[in-house]
């Protein structure tokens, strides 16, 4: 990183930290007014935002991005309306800041409490979708945090306008505009620099693929919330209802195959493999699913009228994010659990079984953020869990695991009142 | 790191992870029996342990360690008895594993709960005191975690015997001995290697000085709990009771100057500086305290009959861990808060004031793990806070902040029971 870049990031960090102290003192009412003001400003500046996005789209087409990718970058009146409407949902949520717990008077008279407070400064590194710029800024401000945003280069023009609109809204209420700052250069070295800004930044949230997650885990001196990568498994036990199983598996695989809680590997108990595999495979094939199958499963997939890829080294260590599905036959639940321990990213796993002991064993032995009995993996999601807002889906074990709600953007401090109290 | 070292650490990691799955399935009763068995084995093997420690002490003397340092390494019958007695205290604590929260039935019939579970594998890097080997192994096992220990080279012989005794206790109950493993070589590269073992290790706790903390923050790809470094401040407000203040400040500074919650910098409101500084300084001097004072404080320290060091660049950024104290006069509470924001390590800060508004402002504006009104900073401690056991004192904001109790060695997973439930 160049000296200029270091200086630039240090300034960003200092400004964010200074802003965070002011944000931390705001009441829930003041923060909700801020969010409403941001929604107003976004609505008023609609044309500027769509114009900036149109520039990003032209550049994306020129650089040959796929249609699917371009669709992800694209904002139109409807989508922008949705982003603005979502702000109202966040306003309606309870403020997790200022809750007190563990309050008590100690034997020596010291009155102790543990109060929830904002984290301070959150750094968010994300790709593609420009809605994240607004979403994450709004969630951070709702919880009294300053935020440093680093979006993808494909939406830099959109992100610049979106963050400027949010900063204008802050200024209109005499609040520090540096509560929301965008890294406005696509230089990759700035990501590495952001990850070492531990003097000012309290948490890094990478929202993107495996490479970004790995980069953050390896380079960051700031605590990182890893997540959003799901190699998800579903085990069909020998005692599952093999008729009802079909809809659940189809739901897990097909409903939205491009997301992290979609099914990647179907594990099938060997005792029902001969009966079940042709049925489920035919059904999923009719929905457009392709298969990578283990050597034991392959014969059962023969003669169904479609090709099947024999599972190779990476078939079970790939998050498909598409209509491909791995199929593996297991001898028993132990082998299924072993497979999951080896290949899972700790996101979401499910078992279908009517045996209560098998269900319980699976839940106890599988160490993932979400474990399901007789349900689709697709439920791992903040709004499905009824958590209100989703900041990210964590697959690590510290601070927050699974869908992270607003309270994951807070920490706490211990407060104690004495009467000139000394330790004995 | 050499290929042999990589292989060695990978094996350690794999064994720890495998052991962790078995530990996670133990009941509180089984875990308490294990702890009692460890206490028995330690008592039975007392002579072996003291003999090993005697070897470490001889080596320490030969290599010229200070008396104070050698005292920290030393075990005798009394100290070993204390270590064993502490195990009983941990047995008496409630098991934080298996608590359920957020339990509810969602609109779609899915029954959801968030269950506390062990973290898995904890890596602990520590220096000097061999009691940590037992303490941390016991706390990890109590919470169903496997642990990889990396102690200081000065106590390697003691640690080898202590960990072997614990492993024998595990084996005597048919539990996996690899639940507790010691890195049995003093090579520094093994610390770096441990910090990259993210495939197997879920959390790193460094218990040691600033250099170790920094190394872990910078090199670890595993989440790290930083802590135990306290540059602690106490502000004497213009409205403090200047008579009662003296005992509190003496308590914060003198009671145990070598620990992290001892006072490092005394901030004094300018309106009471002339009156208070000579009084507090004379009293502290009589207790053996030396001073580094800012330019405004210096004249008030003149003619008291002892020398005072003018504060230099590092006077306020040093954790003294000794009877030295920084003194700085501030214009008002804002300047005090600014000073704390600049120099504090986020551990413990205090204000002495009889003004309720000033107290409240200080508590709200100071962003440290523990903030005190009219009390000594010395209370930041798991047992003082009534938390039972103290794993570490965290000065970071994620996962745990301040004194960390047993529940900081747990995470949670979301469990959901459906009836072949699909997402709409």
DSSP per residue, A336-367: HHHHHHHH--SSEEEEE-S-HHHHHHHHHH--
Among all residues of chain B, which has the CA nearest to that of A243?
B420
Q: What is the mean pLDDT of residues A116-124?
A: 98
Q: Which residue of B has its CA nearest to A220?
A: B218
A368 to chain B, any CB pair closer than 8 A? The answer is yes
State whether CATH 3.40.605.10 applies to domain A3-226+397-417.
Answer: yes
- What are the tens digits of pLDDT across the range A341-367? 999 999 999 999 999 999 999 999 999
Q: In which element (H, E) is residue B271 found?
A: helix B270-286
A120 touches chain B (CB under 8 A): yes
pLDDT at B68 over 90: no
pLDDT value of position B190: 96
Q: In this complex, which of B198, B379, B397 lies closest to A110 when CB atoms are compared?
A: B379
Quick check: B395 and B369 in contact, CB under 8 A? yes
Confirm whether A3-226+397-417 and A232-379 share one CATH topology: no
From residue A60, give the alpha-carbon distance in Å to each of A68, A130, A155, A161, A233: 11, 14, 9, 17, 35
* Residue written as token pair 């000012």: A200
In chain A, residues with a C-beta closer than 8 Å to the C-beta of B223 are 223-224, 396-399
Tokens of B166: 């614990």
Which chain A residues in 271-330 lie under 8 Å from chain B, judged by CB atoms? Answer: none
Q: Distance (Å, rounded) from C-alpha B19 to C-alpha B3?
A: 24
Question: What are B339-352's pLDDT values in tens digits?
Answer: 999 999 999 999 99
Residue A117 forms contact with B (CB below 8 Å): yes
With a cut of 80, say whether residue B376 has pLDDT above it: yes
Q: Which residues of A touch B370 (CB under 8 A)?
A: 413-416
To 10 degrees, what angle do helices B270-286 and B244-254 make? 60
Provide the pLDDT for residue B121: 98
Structure tokens belonging to residue A96: 């997790």
Chain B nearest-CA distance from A300, in A, is: 24
Single out the residue of B344, B266, B259 nearest to residue A413, CA to CA.
Answer: B344
Kindly state the tokens that stand for B125: 């890097």
Is A375 within 8 Å of B417 when comparing Cβ atoms? yes
**What is the C-alpha to C-alpha distance for residues A210 and A190, in angstroms, rounded to an integer?**
19
For chain A, positions 27-86, list CB contacts with chain B under 8 A: none
Distance CA A343, CA B22 (A): 19
pLDDT interval class at B313 (50, 70, 90): confident
d(CA A336, CA A39): 48
Residue percentage of chain A with pLDDT more than 90:
95
Examine the pLDDT at B1 and tell me if it is beyond 80. Answer: no
At residue B330, the pLDDT reads 98
Tokens 């009471």 — which residue?
B272
Say whether A378 and B423 touch across the interface (CB within 8 A): yes
Answer with the residue of higher pLDDT: B111 or A388. Answer: B111
pLDDT in tens, A12-56: 999 999 999 999 999 999 999 999 999 999 999 999 999 999 999
**Measured between beta carbons, which residues in chain B are less than 8 angstroms from residue A22?**
none
Instruction: Please check the confidence at residue A1 and state whether its pLDDT lies above 80.
Output: no
Q: Residue with structure tokens 């002579």?
A: B47
Q: Residue B127 has what pLDDT?
A: 85
The reported pLDDT for the residue numbered A68 is: 84
Give the separation between CA A167 and CA A285, rounded to whole angstroms: 50
Q: How far is A44 from chain B, CA to nearest CA, in Å? A: 34
Assess contact for B297 and B359: CB atoms under 8 A: no
Nearest CB partner across the interface for B363, out of A224, A401, A415: A415
d(CA A113, CA A414): 6
Residue A221 has its nearest CB partner, among B218, B403, B417, at B218
> Does any CB of chain A come closer than 8 Å to the CB of residue B380?
yes
Say if residue A69's pLDDT is above 90: no
ipTM summary value: 0.95
> What are the extents of the domains in chain A?
3-226+397-417, 232-379
Q: Spelled out in words, what is the top-level CATH class assigned to the domain A232-379?
A: alpha beta
Provide the whole-model pTM.
0.95
**Dihedral in degrees, nearest 10, Cα atoms A45, A49, A52, A54:** -130
> Which of helix, strand or coil describes residue B122?
strand
Are A390 and A381 in contact by the 8 Å Cβ rule? The answer is yes
Nearest-CA distance A397 → chain B (Å): 6
Q: If you measure CA to CA, which chain B residue comes closest to A404?
A: B414
Residue in chain A closest to B114 (alpha carbons) equals: A370
B142 and B90 Cβ atoms separated by less than 8 Å = yes
What Å distances lie between residue B33 and A78, A377, B39, B122, CA to CA? Answer: 62, 38, 10, 21
Partners of A351 in beta bridges: A235, A373
Q: Which CATH class is domain B3-226+398-417?
A: alpha beta
Contact A373, A351 (CB under 8 A): yes
Give residue-wise pLDDT tens across range B20-61: 999 999 999 999 999 999 999 999 999 999 999 999 999 999
In this predicted structure, the answer to whether residue B19 has a pLDDT above a threshold of 80 is yes
Separation between Cα atoms, residue A230 and residue A207, nearest integer Å:
13
């Amino acid at each position: 990183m160049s000296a200029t870049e270091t200086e630039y990031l240090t300034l960003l960090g200092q400004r964010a930290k200074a802003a965070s102290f002011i944000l931390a003192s705001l009441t829930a009412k003041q923060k909700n007014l801020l969010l409403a003001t941001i929604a107003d400003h976004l609505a008023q500046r609609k044309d500027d935002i769509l114009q900036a996005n149109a520039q990003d789209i032209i550049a994306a087409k020129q650089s040959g991005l796929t249609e699917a990718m371009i669709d992800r970058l694209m904002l139109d009146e409807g989508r922008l309306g949705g982003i603005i409407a979502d702000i109202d949902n966040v306003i309606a949520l309870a403020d997790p800041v200022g809750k007190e717990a563990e309050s008590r008077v100690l034997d020596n008279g010291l009155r102790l409490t543990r109060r929830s407070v904002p984290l301070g400064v959150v750094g968010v590194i994300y790709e593609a979708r420009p809605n994240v710029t607004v979403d994450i800024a709004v969630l951070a401000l709702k919880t009294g945090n300053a935020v440093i945003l680093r979006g993808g280069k494909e939406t830099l023009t959109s992100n610049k306008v979106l963050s400027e609109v949010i900063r204008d809204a802050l200024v209109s209420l005499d609040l520090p505009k540096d509560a929301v700052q965008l890294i406005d250069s696509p230089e990759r070295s700035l990501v590495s620099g952001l990850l070492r800004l531990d003097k000012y930044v309290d948490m890094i949230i990478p929202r993107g693929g495996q490479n970004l997650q790995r980069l953050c885990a390896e380079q960051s001196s700031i605590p990182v919330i890893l997540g959003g990568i799901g190699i998800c498994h579903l085990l069909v036990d020998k005692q599952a209802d093999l008729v009802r199983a079909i809809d659940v598996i189809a739901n897990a695989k097909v409903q939205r195959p491009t997301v992290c809680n979609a099914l990647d590997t179907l594990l099938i108990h060997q005792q029902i493999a001969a009966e079940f595999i042709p049925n489920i495979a035919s059904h999923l094939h009719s929905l457009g699913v392709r298969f990578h199958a283990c050597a034991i499963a392959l014969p059962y997939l023969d003669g169904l009228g479609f090709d099947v890829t024999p599972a190779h080294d990476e078939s079970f260590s790939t998050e498909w994010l598409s209509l491909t599905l791995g199929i593996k036959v297991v001898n028993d639940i132990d082998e299924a659990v072993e497979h999951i321990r080896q290949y899972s990213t700790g996101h979401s796993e499910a078992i279908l079984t009517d045996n209560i002991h098998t269900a319980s064993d699976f839940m106890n032995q599988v160490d993932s953020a979400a474990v399901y009995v007789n349900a689709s993996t697709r439920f791992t999601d903040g709004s499905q869990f009824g958590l209100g807002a989703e900041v990210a889906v964590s697959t690590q074990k510290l601070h927050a695991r699974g869908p992270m709600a607003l309270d994951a953007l807070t920490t706490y401090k211990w407060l104690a009142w004495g009467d000139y109290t000394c330790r004995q």
